Amino acid sequence: MPDSDIVLAGKNLNKCYVDKGKKLQALKDVSFFLKKGEILGIVGESGSGKSTLLRHISCLEKPDSGTLLYKGTEYTGKPPAFAGTFLQMIFQDAQMSFDPRMKMKKAVVEASNGCSREKLSHILEAVGLDEGLLEKKAGNMSGGQCQRMSIARALCSDARILLCDEVTSALDVTTQAQVVALIRQLQENEGLSIIFVSHDLALVSMLCDRIMVMKNGECVEEGETSKVLGNPQHEYTKELLDNLIE
Amino acid sequence: MNHKRKKINRIKVILSASVAVLLVLIALFASVIAPNDPYETCASAIRTAPSAEFLFGTDNLGRCVFSRVLYGARTTIAATFILVAISFILGSFIGVLSGYYGGILDEITMRIADIMLAFPQMVVAIAVAGILGGGLTSAMIALGITMWTGFARLARSHTFAIKNCPYVQAARLAGKSGSAIMMAHILPNIIAPLLTNALTQIGTTMIGISGLSFLGLGVVPPTAEWGSMINESRAYIQIAPWAVLYPAIATIVTIIVFNYLGDCVMEYRDED
Amino acid sequence: MDTILKINNLSAGYGEECVISDISFDVEAGKKVCIVGESGSGKTTLLKAIHGFGGVTKISGSIEIGKDVLLGVVPQNPGGSFNPIRTYKAQICEALKSNNIDFKIEEVEKTLQILGLSDARRALSSRPYELSGGMNQRMAIATTMLLEPGILLCDEVTSALDVKTAGMVVEQLLEINRLRNTTILMVTHHLGIASKMADFIGIMKSGRMLEYGPAKEILNNPQNEYTRNLLKAVPKLKVS
């Protein structure tokens, strides 16, 4: 595969938290890459380090060692504002993704460095939201609406990479299906590259081109979704598949 | 049921707030309401009992106690408000900064706060006021030196809870600077509990200022101030009890009103 | 088959506000029933109306529970139902004593073993804060099971757990049903769990029971439009 296709990559990322004298290795030598226009799924249980990885990719935290590359250029240790120019994050807690005191309009426009009126309404149409919602605050919107709005906010910036952190796990199944369909549509129509973190193996199998399985801060298996799930090599992946409730 | 309680709480807040506002108005318009000059001594009317001319009687120098209580309100309430406001602004500022940035800054400010908290406020205040010498300003500094820590701690813990919220992280990714995030996202969301705390501090601060004045470390005579009035008149309490009684009542009532207001507001906020 | 729980035209809610209305269904003894619904559908309110805790008031209709049938309730978050710093042994013994149940500690250990806690003795001597969410959930189920309830009422018992642990807890609930013939009434938003364990499934939406019937029929041949949408929305593992 030509390297020019890779928009985002991380090499040998390590992170160790120290809490009251106890050491916790949150990331152990994790490497990954994301190709242009693909959806990379990261699965793992709670505490596997998948959310920590996203926080590192977006520069919200600094790794102890390892490098992060955007289109081949290193950006390790840069401020989050720098990472924000090419990637945006969508969080699990949709409601708390917005300042509870702020109207949507302000919150969305603030994040986008002056996004034009036409662009905004185009984006709202793309995520399937009514413009009237811009006058509302997060507390008066449903979880699904908030999550769509936070996707809209991410799209308002010029970022071409979305990092989705368990974006659907707090949503109802039917709402989840809608949000997932939206994410897929964004990938297909807008050519966005997406990292999709989830604990739901079935969901990831439906959505993602490639998949990475994490356990205790390590990447135990990585590859094309059909290969990893069809013929799992690692014990842990097998275990996850066995315990899947459909 | 909950709805009903909320309604009762709201009425409580409104009532206590209006009494508090009334007290503040009295303090503000002391010069209009006061029937006599609080500093004018009258040799012919020393220690006269309360009458139509002198509502609360006169003190040892023949000064009108009623007028002095009114003017004292101005001194005490104004000093308290200024002190609480300064500690509130300074403490919240330091607290938000150390909560948001953490690290060494946080470590240093919180250790200082810990040291301040280790001593009873009044003990530190007496010591500091003693070193600085008398006067209202030094009394305020003496009290403020420990008071900001309470605000700082509260602001810090609230900031701590909020700074990891997705919306703050989203703002960071959107390229907002730290100060912009603190002003736009953190402060507006924590200001309510901080203000409530400031309200509950008013009563204690009032006790502090009156207390220091009573000990002779605050307001310098002849300025009218409740604490120093009580101190001046306590020598002849058996002959002219009114000269002690009325400033004492004024102190107690004011403290109760502001404490009650603080409690009511706190309760009202907790209901949400 | 005996009907152990019979609900007739039940309407209930909080105070005067009606949250669930006109709900009717029967549960036969020894069966596993899952009530599936999304958030706000009233499924937890229904459960609360049945066990009577949680401030739900009955507005009309009736709930008939079989004679001498004890209800066991397993909450969603077991952390809140144990004292975090007392040992399980002390807490479980206390619960049993206050219910005037004669018991031997061996029996307690046996129940725990059914629930997959092989080292039961160690689990008993540990404290809730030392154990993981899954372990705590199993201890909660075990404690409830020691009272030998006729019906086990479970409120989203797996939703706070990891996929792997959730699978195990479901297995163990099935094991309890098999060994003790305990009727299980489980409330969940997870259709997968319902299809794995339920004999009967009820689908709830906006406080109403849209469909109730044998699991196979509901899953394979849903009559209601909403149920069809719900089934369609569930992600399925795609391995091609």
Which pLDDT score, from 0 to 100, does residue B90 have?
94
Q: Number of folded domains in chain A?
A: 2
Report the SS3 class of residue C5.
Answer: strand
Tokens of B190: 């924590």
Question: What would the pLDDT profile of B210-229 be if each residue is shown by its tens digit?
Answer: 888 888 888 887 788 888 88
Residue C97 token pair: 């004593």
At residue B66, the pLDDT reads 87
Mean pLDDT of chain A: 87
Instruction: Indicate which CATH number applies to the domain containing A168.
Output: 3.40.50.300
pTM above 0.95, yes or no: no
CA dihedral C131→C134→C136→C138, nearest 10 degrees, is -130
Tens-place pLDDT, residues C217-228: 998 988 889 999
**C contacts of A45 (beta carbons < 8 Å):** 162-164
Which of A115, A136, A159 is the last residue in one of the domains?
A: A159
* Averaged pLDDT, A140-167: 87
Across A186-190, B101-105, C129-133, least confident range? C129-133
| Residue corresponding to tokens 């986008």 | A112
CB C169 within 8 A of CB C138: yes
Residue closest to C207 by CA, chosen among C2, C14, C51? C14
> Which residue type does B256 have?
I
Q: Which of A62, A70, A78, A99 to mutate to probe the B interface, most B CBs <10 Å?
A: A99
Average pLDDT over residues B79-89: 94
Q: Which of A203, A229, A242 sits opposite C235 (nearest CB)?
A: A203
Q: What is the DSSP letter of A196?
A: E
Same domain, A12 and A80: yes
How does pLDDT run across B90-117, given as a tens digit for each residue? 999 999 999 999 889 899 988 998 888 8
Return the residue of A nearest to C158 by Cα: A245
Of A139, A159, A179, the last residue of a domain is A159
The string of DSSP letters for C179-240 reads HH--EEEEEES-HHHHHHH-SEEEEEETTEEEEEEEHHHHHHS--SHHHHHHHHHS------
User: Chain A neighbours among C 15-44 (CB < 8 Å)?
Assistant: 38-39
What is the structure's pLDDT at C79?
67
Can you tell me the mean pLDDT for B136-160? 90
Q: Quick one: pLDDT at residue C213?
A: 92
Mean pLDDT lowest among A185-199, B34-48, B136-150, C26-40? B34-48
For residues A216 and A170, membership in a common domain is answered with yes
According to DSSP H, which parts of chain B are helical?
2-28, 30-33, 65-101, 103-118, 121-132, 136-163, 166-173, 178-181, 187-214, 226-233, 242-271
Checking DSSP bridges between strand A73-74 and strand A65-70, what pairing results, if any?
A: antiparallel
CA distance to partner chain B, nearest, from residue A136 (Å):
16
Residue A135 shares a structural domain with residue A30: no
Where do the DSSP E strands lie in A49-166?
65-70, 73-74, 87-90, 161-165
| Exposed/middle/buried for residue C80 (C-beta within 10 Å: 0-12, 13-18, 19+) | exposed
Position C92 scores a pLDDT of: 84
Token digits of residue C5: 């729980």
Reported in sequence order, the residue ranges of C39-141 that DSSP labels E, i.e. its strands, are 57-65, 71-74
Q: Are residues A175 and A130 in the same domain?
A: no
Query: Residue A10: CB partners within 8 Å, gap ≥ 6?
Result: A30, A31, A32, A33, A53, A56, A57, A66, A67, A68, A69
Helix, strand, coil fractions of chain A, as percent rounded to 5: 40, 30, 30
Q: Do C163 and A177 touch (CB under 8 A)?
A: no
Interface check for C192 against chain A (CB to CB < 8 A): the answer is: yes
Q: Say if residue A168 is in the same domain as residue A178.
A: yes
Pair (A214, A234) in one structural domain:
yes
Given this model, what pLDDT does residue A31 score?
A: 93
Residue A109 scores a pLDDT above 90:
no
End position of a domain, from candidates A132, A159, A186? A159
- Is A141 in the same domain as A166? no
Please give the full DSSP string across A131-142, using - where no structure is assigned: GGGGGSBGGGS-
A89, A100, A107: residue with CB nearest B173: A89
What torsion do the CA atoms of C15, C17, C22, C28 make, to the nearest 10 degrees? Answer: -40
* pLDDT score recorded for residue A14: 92
Comparing CB atoms, the residue among A81, A85, A93 nearest residue B172 is A81
The tokens describing C82, both together, are 């144990």
Asked whether A204 and A237 are in contact (CB, 8 A), the reply is: no
Burial of B262 (0-12, 13-18, 19+ CB in 10 A): buried
> Which of A174, A206, A246 faces C229 most closely, judged by CB atoms?
A174
Neighbors of chain C with 3 or more C-beta pairs under 8 Å: A
Same domain, A102 and A146: yes
A27 with A146, same domain? no
| Domain extent at residue A154 | 95-159
CB B90 within 8 A of CB B150: no
Residue C235's pLDDT is what? 84
Contact assignment for A45 to C164 by CB distance below 8 Å: yes
**Helix or strand or coil: residue B135?**
coil
DSSP SS3 for A67: strand
**Cβ neighbours for C147, distance < 8 A, ≥ 6 positions apart:** C70, C72, C95, C96, C99, C101
Give the phi and the psi of residue C69 in degrees, each rounded to 5: -95, 125
**Per-residue pLDDT at B249:** 92
Residues of chain A contacting residue B167, judged by C-beta atoms under 8 Å apart: 96-99, 107
Query: What is residue C60's DSSP assignment?
Result: E
Q: Which of B3-7, B16-20, B123-127 has the lowest average pLDDT?
A: B3-7
| Contacting B residues, span 147-166, partner chain A, CB-CB under 8 Å | 165-166
To the nearest whole percent, how much of chain B has pLDDT over 70? 99
**C-alpha of B52 from chain center:** 33
Contacts by C20-23, CB closer than 8 A, 24 or more apart: C20/C45, C20/C46, C20/C49, C20/C204, C20/C207, C20/C208, C21/C207, C21/C208, C22/C61, C22/C208, C22/C209, C23/C61, C23/C208, C23/C209
At residue C38, the pLDDT reads 85
User: Is the predicted pLDDT of residue A2 greater than 60, yes or no?
Assistant: no
Q: Where does the pLDDT of residue C214 fall: very low under 50, low under 70, confident under 90, or very high at 90 and above?
A: very high
The β-bridge relationship of strands C32-37 and C3-14 is unpaired
Note the pLDDT of residue A66.
92
Confidence (pLDDT) at B39: 78
Query: Within this chain, do residues A168 and A228 fall inside the same structural domain, yes or no?
Result: yes
Q: In the prediction, which pLDDT does C97 show? A: 82
**For C163-212, how does the pLDDT look when each residue is reduced to its tens digit (9 = 90+)?**
777 888 888 889 888 888 899 999 998 888 888 899 999 999 988 999 99
Span A114-119, mean pLDDT?
Answer: 77
Q: Which residue has the higher pLDDT, C64 or B117?
A: C64
pLDDT of residue B2: 67
- Residues A81 and A7 occupy one common structural domain: yes
Go through C195-210 and write b for each residue having 16 or more CB atoms within 10 A of its CB, e for each that does not: bbbbbbbbbbbebebb
Model confidence pLDDT, tens digit, residues B16-58: 999 999 989 988 888 888 777 877 777 777 777 787 777 777 7
Determine the average pLDDT of the residues in C43-72.
Answer: 86
Q: Are residues A182 and A149 in the same domain?
A: no
Q: Inform me whether the C-beta atom of residue A203 falls under 8 Å from chain C C-beta atoms.
A: yes
Per-residue confidence at A30, pLDDT binned at 50, 70, 90?
Answer: very high
Contacts of A230 in chain C (CB under 8 A): 239-240
What pLDDT is attached to residue B134?
A: 76
- Per-residue model confidence (pLDDT) at position A21: 73
Burial of B43: CB neighbours in 10 Å, binned 0-12, 13-18, 19+? exposed
Chains that touch A (3 or more CB pairs under 8 A): B, C
User: Residue A32: its pLDDT value, please?
Assistant: 93
pLDDT of C69-90, one tens digit each? 888 888 877 667 788 788 888 8
Place of tokens 């470390």: B217
